[in-house]
Amino acid sequence: MASIEMIVAARARLRGHARRTPLLSSPFLDEIAGRRLLVKAECLQHSGSFKFRGGWSAVSGIDPELRKKGVIAFSSGNHAQGVALAALMHGIPSVIIMPSDAPKLKIANTRAFGAEVVLYDRANEDRDEIGAKLSAERGLTLIKPFDEPLVIAGQGTTGLEIAEQAEEEGVKNAEVLVPCGGGGLSSGIALALEASAPGFRVRPCEPENFDDTTRSLASGKIERNASLTGSICDAIVTPQPGNITFPILKRLAGQGVVVTDDEALRAVALAFSRLKIVVEPGGAVALAAALFHGDQLDSDTAIVVTSGGNIDADVFTTALERFG
């Protein structure tokens, strides 16, 4: 099981390797949100998303003899890049299984990080099955994207930083809005905050029609998404909450917040003009939730994680043309 002790240990392994991303703000965004907003710009992390933390945590946590054989991961893109870069920096091989409709930039970057990329059809093939087979054949260690304690611990280091940085800003109570796919980042941050900032509460944020975590939190049991394609927020579309992550969220998180694709794109445009950061739609859903669904929040301060910035130029241009 993931725990605060594992998160603290992951922080020690990540020191000097992961970036301590800044906590940004803008009076213009505060005005739209109707409360104070602090933005944890995790899109500035190595590999362009928080996934580098989990990737590094997992790769550095494997037994050295086993690690030499390499690692394998399946991912819509950000986990891929995080694991590939962590493997490259450890000098070991990586194999990444990616959906064939993943953004071109993510596929290209994953290859550039030295990974062997295996593409699959998101609608008709089972990535777990492909991963298990390759893993067995080559002796690779499978690094799951979220339902893996070492990965959750790595993502949780984001929460330790949020607690420290918010304290520097004098914030004692806040809702912490986190983009949520399988729940690795949300659950990791929730565990970190439980220990280090008890006045903070995680609120998972999801795109419309892919709100499995929000529905699962409402019903108290794991619910699945009806579809896995058709969202612009590709980075955070997963079949269902994880078996490890969901119980953590059920115990510690508040209700989910759901945003539309247009709201996510509007948040991308506002992050451009007001924060000077590049955020991908899936990474912008928590910012969109704070900006456009403030009626579902309680606290005077909302801390928002912008979890990734690996967006193709044409999608970014569309966001600016429509909402810039």
Task: State the binding string over 273-302 for a second copy (x if CB under 8 A, else -).
Answer: x-xxxxx-----------------------
Is residue 87 part of the contact set for a second copy (CB under 8 A)?
A: no
Q: Which is nearer to a second copy, 87 or 275 (CB)?
A: 275
Identity (one letter) of the amino acid at 101? D
* Cβ–Cβ < 8 Å for 54, 68: no
Using CB under 8 A, pick the residue from 4, 9, 105, 130 that binds a second copy: 105
Q: Which is nearer to a second copy, 22 or 239 (CB)?
A: 22
Kindly give the residue spans of alpha helices, DSSP state H, lying in 169-260.
184-196, 212-219, 245-252
Using CB under 8 A, pick the residue from 14, 29, 38, 41 that binds a second copy: 41
* Residue 212 Cβ vs a second copy, minimum distance, rounded to whole Å: 27
Q: Which is nearer to a second copy, 97 or 271 (CB)?
A: 271
Is residue 44 part of the contact set for a second copy (CB under 8 A)?
A: yes
Longest dimension (CA), the chain: 55
Using CB under 8 A, pick the residue from 269, 286, 287, 304 that binds a second copy: 269
* Cβ–Cβ < 8 Å for 205, 257: yes
* Cβ–Cβ < 8 Å for 155, 147: no
Tokens at 187, concatenated? 């659950």
Is residue 272 part of the contact set for a second copy (CB under 8 A)?
A: yes
Using CB under 8 A, pick the residue from 112, 132, 136, 218 that binds a second copy: 112
Is residue 103 part of the contact set for a second copy (CB under 8 A)?
A: no
Interface size with a second copy, residues (CB under 8 A): 30
Q: Which is nearer to a second copy, 257 or 311 (CB)?
A: 311
Q: Which is nearer to a second copy, 207 or 309 (CB)?
A: 309
Sign of the Cα torsion 97, 115, 2, 255 reads: negative
* Residue 43 Cβ vs a second copy, minimum distance, rounded to whole Å: 5
Q: Which is nearer to a second copy, 191 or 286 (CB)?
A: 286
Neighbours of 240 (CB within 10 A): 16
* Residue 96 Cβ vs a second copy, minimum distance, rounded to whole Å: 17
Q: Which of 309, 36, 6, 8 is nearest to 166 (CA)?
A: 36
Question: What does the alpha-carbon distance between residue 185 and residue 280 come to, in Å, rounded to a whole number?
Answer: 16
Question: What does the alpha-carbon distance between residue 266 and residue 252 come to, in Å, rounded to a whole number?
Answer: 29
Question: What does the alpha-carbon distance between residue 2 and residue 31 come to, in Å, rounded to a whole number?
Answer: 38
Interface with a second copy by CB under 8 A: which range of 4-12, 94-102, 115-123, 310-318? Answer: 310-318
* Residue 104 Cβ vs a second copy, minimum distance, rounded to whole Å: 11
Using CB under 8 A, pick the residue from 48, 61, 82, 159 that binds a second copy: 48
Neighbours of 199 (CB within 10 A): 13
Interface with a second copy by CB under 8 A: which range of 222-230, 232-240, 241-249, 313-321? Answer: 313-321
Tokens at 59, concatenated? 């790769």
Torsion of Cα atoms, 281 then 242 then 254 then 220, to 10°: 130
Which residues have CB under 8 Å from 6's CB, separation 6+?
149, 150, 152, 153, 156
**Quick check: helix, strand or coil at residue 9?**
helix
Question: Within positions 7 to 36, which residues make up the interface with a second copy, using CB under 8 A?
Answer: 19-22, 24, 27-28
**Chain residues in the site for a second copy (CB under 8 A):** 19-22, 24, 27-28, 41, 43-44, 48, 105, 109, 112-113, 269, 272-273, 275-279, 309, 313, 316-317, 320-321, 324
